[in-house]
Structure 1
Amino acid sequence: MARILADAQLRSRVTVHPADIAQAQLPAGIDVALACGCIGFFDPPTRRALWPRLAAALAPAGVVLVDVMPLDRPQSIPESQVADVQVGRHRYQIWLGGQPAGADPELVRWRTRFGQSDGDMQIRSFTIERDWRAFGLDTVLDEAAAAGFTAERLADIPVPAALLRLA
């Protein structure tokens, strides 16, 4: 959302709806759909139901950009700092770690800690935990293929990703 707010061209072309993907009404004629950084939040039935809906909503030359985390199964991810940035007088820090979450064979529970400080004084600190389904890009491509999509895997990027087009 921050990128959209900062870019006048995006603001004139992008609409963000306040609905989850299972309930969202997709408009017809979508040129580009992004499923980046989010697909692991969807349970398998929601994910499988998404592809036919996108296929019906895409413009004839439309594409879907999809990515997954570089984890194809739950595993322990030791906490590490992923950001440490000075913005004005404040320093913002983010740490991320994860653990398998219970009996579900796909779930990883991610723990993200955020900190904001002004010199030695901590202004705020909070933690968010979220469950993520870990699976490989092949799972997504198989589900999308069942809805008529072909995939072009993208190389030389930090996470597994593909462009989907209708066959």
Structure 2
Amino acid sequence: SASMRVGLMARILADAQLRSRVTVHPADIAQAQLPAGIDVALACGCIGFFDPPTRRALWPRLAAALAPAGVVLVDVMPLDRPQSIPESQVADVQVGRHRYQIWLGGQPAGADPELVRWRTRFGQSDGDMQIRSFTIERDWRAFGLDTVLDEAAAAGFTAERLADIPVPAALLRLA
């Protein structure tokens, strides 16, 4: 998404080494032209936004673009099916005179067996005065890491599951 690219670019702009090695494309993965010889591809915090056909089309494209020793790091949410997630506060930070707060919750969305509708509520205040508040709803597909690994295996990838990290993740390499 454009907002994710802005955040990523802010970090890259602050690091001269990254600026010389990282390219951020202004397209979603379904339309992006993937260059040949990719050493590392990250599919972190995003794979649940892709519908099943987009996910299945991604793996052969990455396989074709990856350098011989290249890897793909992929993760999924620790939810393998839609479920109710009670709203909880995930951030409460003071920046200067303003307090920023974020709450997150989710519910299964309709008849789709994978879909969760996440509701993110943002607030900004100055003392007791609310400056602004808004809510964003986004659909996310909940599935386990096994689903991703099966899809990637069909494109020739082998997987190394990663342990001792907060979310299910794996490194994919071409077999």
> What is the TM-score normalised by the length of structure 1?
0.96
Deviation of residue 11 (structure 1)?
2.4
Q: Which residue of 2 aligns with 1:91?
A: 99
Deviation of residue 2 (structure 1)?
3.7
2:69 to 61, 64, 80: 61
Question: In structure 1, what is the Cα distance between the partners aligned to 2:112 and 2:24?
Answer: 31
Question: In structure 2, what is the Cα distance between the partners aligned to 1:161 and 1:65?
Answer: 7
**Bigger mean CA offset, 127-136 vs 3-12:** 3-12
Structure 2 unaligned residues grouped into runs of 5+: 1-8
Q: Residues 123 and 11 from structure 1, CA distance in 2 versus in 1: closer, same or farther, beyond 3 angstroms?
A: farther
Deviation of residue 99 (structure 1)?
0.1
Question: In structure 1, what is the Cα distance between the partners aligned to 2:131 and 2:154?
Answer: 50
Q: Residues 94 and 6 from structure 1, CA distance in 2 versus in 1: closer, same or farther, beyond 3 angstroms?
A: farther
Deviation of residue 27 (structure 1)?
0.5
Question: In structure 2, what is the Cα distance between the partners aligned to 1:12 and 1:129?
Answer: 36
- RMSD of aligned residue pairs (Cα, Å): 1.0
Q: Residues 100 and 47 from structure 1, CA distance in 2 versus in 1: closer, same or farther, beyond 3 angstroms?
A: same
Deviation of residue 15 (structure 1)?
1.4
> What is the TM-score normalised by the length of structure 2?
0.92
- Identity across aligned pairs (percent)? 100
Deviation of residue 8 (structure 1)?
2.9
Q: Any idea what SS the aligned residue of 1:9 has? A: helix
Question: In structure 1, what is the Cα distance between the partners aligned to 2:173 and 2:116?
Answer: 30
Structure 1 unaligned residues grouped into runs of 5+: none
Question: In structure 2, what is the Cα distance between the partners aligned to 1:11 and 1:81?
Answer: 34
Q: Which runs of 4+ in 1 moved over 4 A?
A: none
Deviation of residue 115 (structure 1)?
1.0
Question: In structure 2, what is the Cα distance between the partners aligned to 1:31 and 1:23?
Answer: 20
Q: Residues 46 and 113 from structure 1, CA distance in 2 versus in 1: closer, same or farther, beyond 3 angstroms?
A: same
Question: In structure 1, what is the Cα distance between the partners aligned to 2:101 and 2:82?
Answer: 25
1:140 to 140, 144, 148: 148
Question: In structure 1, what is the Cα distance between the partners aligned to 2:155 and 2:141?
Answer: 21
Deviation of residue 20 (structure 1)?
1.1
Q: Residues 117 and 7 from structure 1, CA distance in 2 versus in 1: closer, same or farther, beyond 3 angstroms?
A: farther
